[in-house]
Amino acid sequence: MLLVVMCPKCGGKQKTNPRRVSGSVKKCVFCGHSFVIHSLEKDRILAVL
């Protein structure tokens, strides 16, 4: 499953393929900020591909 997520710090959009969505940590490719992807936070997950 491929997700399009938005960095909460810089707003950069990027694709990620987490092993599990809930609690998965993504490091932003633009600013290096690490954030947790929550399946229930729809504002952070822009698309499921």
Choices 9-17, 18-26, 36-44 (CB under 5 A): range interacting with Zn ion? 9-17
Rounded CA-CA distance 24/22 in Å is 6
Shortest gap between Cβ of 40 and Zn ion (angstroms)? 21
**23 sits near Zn ion (criterion: CB under 5 A):** no
In the complex, least distance from residue 38 CB atom to Zn ion, rounded to whole angstroms = 17
CB of 1 to Zn ion, least distance (A): 22
The CA-based dihedral angle spanning residues 8, 10, 14, 16, taken in that order and rounded to the nearest 10 degrees:
-40
Residues recorded for the chain: 49
